Amino acid sequence: MAQPLLSMFPSDVTEINPLMSFAKREGTVYYFNGPMPVFSHAESDRASFAMFASQMVVNGNCKQVVASLTSDPGSPLYQALRDNDLYRWKPVAPTRLYHCSGDLDVLPANSQVAYNSFRAQGASQVQLIDPQPGADHSGCAIPSLEAAKAWFDTLKR
């Protein structure tokens, strides 16, 4: 029979899940795994917050929190995601979006959504390029770089 996990968080923290918590103290945010501090950043440092939060998401440490953080316009994660999206601008110069259809690390759908957004905003010089159809992330890197370099070379004056 599994033994229940007893809470060992410091007294002034907010629980994220049964293992992770955080506390704000004098302008600094501290993250804990049980009683052990694992990371800290200035409360105003949104980049560090976004980095640590993304690691927690990737590692599956905060699944129950993600929905509320990404749907609350006042949350720092929501703001960081909004500030770093690909859709709130329109390219005015020729633009190529390189991706490979077999990439499971950076999904080709990201390029497709950006392409559709740019076109819907009136960008006419945008292309979606799959330089190695079916290639995964590793197999896509070199063909994409080579194709981009060859294209950049055609743009030299």
Q: Which of 27, 57, 21 is nearest to 39 (CA)?
A: 21
Domain count, the chain: 2
Q: Is residue 109 part of a domain?
A: yes
CA 31 to the chain's CA centroid: 19
Give CA separation, 137 vs 55, 80, 104, in Å: 20, 25, 7
What is the spatial distance between Cα 37 and Cα 30, in angstroms, rounded to a whole number?
7
58-72: pLDDT as tens digits: 777 766 666 666 677
Q: Is residue 2 part of a domain?
A: no
Which residue among 83, 110, 139 closes a domain? Answer: 83
Contact (CB, 8 A) for 73 and 80: no
Quick check: 89 pLDDT over 90? no
Q: Is residue 1 part of a domain?
A: no
| Mean pLDDT across the chain | 83
Confidence of residue 86 (pLDDT cuts 50, 70, 90): low
Q: Is residue 48 part of a domain?
A: yes
3-55: pLDDT as tens digits: 555 556 667 888 877 778 888 889 998 988 878 888 899 988 888 888 887 77
Domain that holds residue 128: 95-155
Looking at residue 53, its amino acid is A
